[in-house]
Amino acid sequence: MLKAIHNKLDDLYPEMVEIRRFLHQYPELSFQETKTAQYIADFYEELGIPYQQNVGGNGVIATLEGGKPGKVVALRADFDALPIQDEKDVPYKSKIDGVMHACGHDGHTASLLTLAKVMTAFQDDLPGTILFLHQHAEEYAPGGAQPIIESGALDKADAVFGTHLWATTPFGVLQTSKDTFMAGPDRFEITIQGQGGHGGYPHQTKDAITIGSRLVSQLQEIVSRRLDPLSTAVISIGQFEAGSAFNVIADKARLVGTVRYLQLDVQEQIIEEMEKVIQGTCIANDASYTFDYDKGYPPLVNNTQEAELVLEASKQVDDIHTSEEIQPVMAGEDFAYYTQAKPGAYFFTGAKKEGYPHHHPMFDIDERAIPVAAKTLIAAYFAYQAQTQAKG
């Protein structure tokens, strides 16, 4: 049956591309995806598959009950976009100014919708139940996964699988981990309050730019000099805002950045060390400060057994020539909440096209990867059903 499903997915490749390109032209930001959610709901309405809308916010979950006994397995795709201007010169370029599918979520949605369409033809012979889980707001914390879980909509699920079309991994390559797979991504903001003044009289000021510059350097020493060298972490400053004129010393500076980590104890140590460094630097320069630290998603930790199932199931997908375990990546994903709540695994489906990374204005994917994602998800579904039945 799996081979027949894969063949039907290949037959519907043009429809997958059409769905993906339509969604690419009409992206919506996190927590604002009402039209996209309605598009998904209308698709299931036409298929005749029962579905729930407004799950945990803008989430949509469709339920396909098979004709044979088995477990309930959720297959997840996210559908929000990013506040980025699309700079590609393609017919399907975003029509929404300043908003873009720069992470492949349009492809995730096209993959899962088309898989649902195919599976209706196999419903009578399907073991168990598929939950087609369409999640909103992956890109922006607190995200959509946690409220979906809190809604109780996944209480009946026995396992959950998901994939990301990964634009820096070649087509035909599947990547995952049997343990920690993606980092916990946090956000912080530091405001330094000094004392401004004339550029010709720096001795009469407390230069917020100088103090902020020292902080940029000293915060890096937390990772290089205060953490165990075997611990993995990143502290990056993404914004440094200060000053209003060439001859005026700034009285205030604002630094915004991110912390990435793989272990919770490392996260706590970084927060503690950052507070010490910021406080010490500001005291030494007679300045005051505020430090706001927002904890984001936890690290994404795959369940070993389910990750092994994905690796094994991928061997049944003709388009995949390499399935490999990789070291954790420092990007974050709120799929982490699903594997905290249920057995499950997340994996990357190679979709490299031009080589532009995720969240880039020129981002695009190799659309051949869209059916590969669907094929692997359904292969993992059947592998899970077979394994649980074998255990009795």
Q: Which residues are catalytic?
A: 80, 138
User: Could you tell me which of 232, 112, 229, 249 has the C-alpha nearest to residue 183?
Assistant: 232
Pull the structure tokens for residue 332: 């974050």
DSSP for 231-246? Answer: S-EEEEEEEEEE-SST
Pull the structure tokens for residue 117: 């369409």
Instruction: For residue 81, give the H/E element and its range.
Output: none
CB 19 within 8 A of CB 374: no
CA triple 119-347-88, angle to 5 deg = 90
User: Could you tell me which of 10, 42, 3 has the C-alpha nearest to residue 122?
Assistant: 3
CB 160 within 8 A of CB 73: yes
Inter-CA distances, 82 with 135, 284, 357, Å: 15, 40, 14
Separation between Cα atoms, residue 164 and residue 25, nearest integer Å: 20
CB 233 within 8 A of CB 223: yes
